[in-house]
A and B are shown apart, each in its own frame.
Chain A
Amino acid sequence: MSATRPGWFGEFGGCFAPEVLMPAVHELQKTYAQARRDPKFRQELDTIRRNYAGRPTPLDTAARLTQAWGGAKIFLKREDLNHTGSHKLNNCLGQILLAKRMGKKRIIAETGAGQHGVAAATVCARFGIPCRVYMGTEDMQRQALNVYRMRLLGAEVYAVDSGTRTLKDAMNEAIRDWITNVDNTYFLLGSVAGFDPYPKMVCDFQSVIGQEARQQILKQTGRLPDAIVACVGGGSNAIGIFSSFVKDRKVRLLGVEAGGEGLVTGRHAAPLARGRIGVLHGSRSYVMQDADGQILNTHSVAAGLDYPGVGPELSYLKDSGRAEFIAVTDTQALAAQKEMARLEGIIPATESAHAVAYAKFLAKKLGKKKSIIINVSGRGDKDLKPGDVQ
C-alpha cells in the first residue's frame, strides 16, 4: 500500500474488485488514461459542458445570508444551476464520452437522492444508449419526483428492495449487474467511491467546479476565500471544489457529513466522524461498521448523504489534516434549507443544506473580514412534497 501506487491516496483507495470485473476495470483505466491526454476528448467535454450543461455555473455573493448571519462574506457556487439541477451531470458527461469511446451498448448507474440517476438518464438520452438506474425503494419513495424524471428521460428505474433499501444497496445491485453483464455494459458510478479508477476519474470530472470557483473568486474579490464548505456523502461535490484549493494551504476545506438525529444517537451517516477504516464497494476508506466488520445501517434526511462509506481521497484529506470534517443534524439542515430559500430565493437540496447549516456557524466564528464559498451542489425541488410547507 505505498503512496505512489496508482489508485491510492496514501493508505486509502485501491482496487478491491471481484476477479470477473478486472478486465473491465483495466479497460476503463486504460481508456481513461488515454482520453485524459487526448486534446480532442478535452475539447469535446468542454463544448458539451458549455452548450449542454450551461457551464460555467455562477459564483454569486449571498448578500442577505451574509447580513443575517452577521459574519464572514458568503459566496455561493451555484451547481444547482447546472443542467439537471446538480453537480452530478459533470461526472456523467465525462463518463458517457468514455463509454462511447469503449463502444458500450448499455449503461447502468446507482443512485441515492436520484440526482445522479437523473444525470445518468439525461446523458443516456442525449447519446441514445439504454440506461438502467438502481435505486433503493426507500429512496424511490422519498425522492419520487426524481424517479418520475428518470422514467420520463427513458431510463429504467430498477427498485432495490434488499438491505436498507438505500444507496448502499443500490450500489450492491449495480455491481451485481455489472458482474453479470460486464462484456457489454458500462457502470456509470456517481461518486468518488468504488474501485480504482472511479475515485480519481470522478474527481477529475468534478474538478471543473473548483477550477471555475477559483477563477471566479479571484476575479470578483482579488483574493482566495478563507474557507470552502461542501456537503459529503460519497464526496464528489466536495472533492470537486476542494481539489483546486488543496495547494492553497491557507484556504480551509470543510466537509459536512450527515449527522442525522445526532452523532450520539448512532443514527447518522458520518463515516469520517464516527467510522473506522475498512473496505466497502472496492476501496479502502472510512466506513461505518460494527466491531465484527459488518456495515452499519445509516440514517439521514438527505438520501444523497445516506451512505456508510466515503471516497478514499476524502479519508486521505482527513488523515493528512488538510481538510476538516463536521457533521450537521437533519434538523439543522432542514432549517438552513428554509433560511436560504427565504433569504436568497434559492432552494438548496437537503444534501447541500448541510453545507449551508455549517457555513452559518462558521461565518459567525470567522467574523466579517473573512469570506466563505458554499458549494450549493444541487437544487431542492426534488425534496418538496405537498404538505411539507406550512
Chain B
Amino acid sequence: MSIRLINRLLKERTAGRKLFVPFITAGDRGLDFTRQAVLALDQAGADAVELGVPFSDPLADGKVIQASSQRALEQHTTLAGIIDMVHTLRSKTDMPILLMGYLNPFLQKNANAMAKWLVQAGVDGTIIPDYPPEEAMDWIKACGEQDLDTVFLTTPNSTPDRLAAVAQASTGYIYYVSVTGTTGARTQLPAHLQQGIARVRSMTFLPILVGFGIATPEQAARVAKVSDGVIVGSALVKTLAGKENNRAALKKFIQLAANIAKAVKK
C-alpha cells in the first residue's frame, strides 16, 4: 500500500474524521490548471485526489464527465503528460494522488513497466472502472510489488461473491458506488445506502468511500455519517464547464470543495 495514502488514512481515522476525496479530470482547462487545482485542494481540506485520465469513450460516465473528458482531450492531454505533471507536484504536496480512467490508455506499456512509471512519478494508486479484478490479475500483482494501490468499485447490486472478490483485490480504500448508474450529481441520496455499506463493511477493514451522485455539502455530510468518507466528481467538474476565465473557475471549484470538506470533517 502507498505510504502517503496509508499515513493520511491513519491520521484521519485516529482523529475520528471522515475522508473527503475530490475528483478532477486531468487536463480540463489544461494540465497547468489541474496542477493549480490539486495544490488548492490540498489547502482546502482534501485527503486525496482522484485525477481523471480522459478517454475518447467514457462509457460509464454521465454527461458532465463526458464533456470534461472531451475538453481535456481537446487540450491534447495524454497519460504521459498527466504522469509528468504528478511528478512536478511531488515537490509541493504529499497529498495522495490516484489516477482514475478507462483501461486502454494504461495498456500502452506492460503491467510492470506501467506500475513502475506511475510509482516513480509519485502516483499512489489507480481506479480503472472497466478492469474488474478477475481480468486485472497481472495489474494487481504489478501494483502490489510497487506499493501502488488498486482501488476497485463495488455497487449496490454486487453479489456476495463479487463483494468478496472486490474486497480481496482492493488496497487503499473501497469505492462504493451509491447508485446503479453512470457518474453524475443527483438531487436525492439513494435509499438503503446504509445497508449497502454494511454489506461491504462485513468484507473488509479498508475505508469505504462513497461516490456517484453526491453534489452538495449537505449530501456529503449525510453520506459521511454512514461511511468512511465521500468522493465527489461531477458536481466539482461542472464548475469548470462555464465560460469564465481559469481564475474565476478555480475559485468556484475550490469554494465548493472547501465547503464539502468542511461538511465532511465536522
Contact = CB atoms under 8 A, between A and B. Distances in A.
Please determine whether chains A and B interact with each other in the same assembly: yes
A15 B130 CA distance: 9
Interface stretch (A55-63, A117-125, A289-297, A344-352): A289-297
Interface string B171-194: 000000100111000000000000
Contacts of B105: 292-294
Interface stretch (A37-45, A89-97, A278-286, A324-332): A278-286
Interface in B66-100: 66, 73, 78-80
A174 to B, nearest CB: 9
A341 B65 CA distance: 47
A228 to B, nearest CB: 32
A16 B57 CA distance: 14
Interface residues of A, number: 34
A78 interface: no
Given A23-B162, A289-B104, A16 B130 contact: yes
Given A19-B155, A19-B166, A292 B180 contact: no
A14 interface: yes
Contact of A20 (B55, B56, B180): B180
Interface string A39-81: 0000000000000000000000000000000000000000000
Contact of B180 (A26, A171, A182): A182
Given A293-B104, A294-B55, A19 B79 contact: no
A162 B55 CA distance: 13
Contacts of A171: 59
A387 interface: no
Contact of B132 (A15, A163, A169, A176): A15
22 contacts: A15-B132, A15-B135, A18-B132, A19-B152, A22-B159, A23-B157, A23-B158, A23-B159, A162-B66, A172-B57, A172-B59, A175-B60, A176-B61, A176-B182, A179-B180, A180-B180, A278-B107, A281-B57, A293-B55, A293-B104, A293-B107, A294-B56
Interface of B: 55-62, 66, 73, 78-80, 103-108, 129-132, 134-135, 152-155, 157-159, 162, 166, 177, 180-182
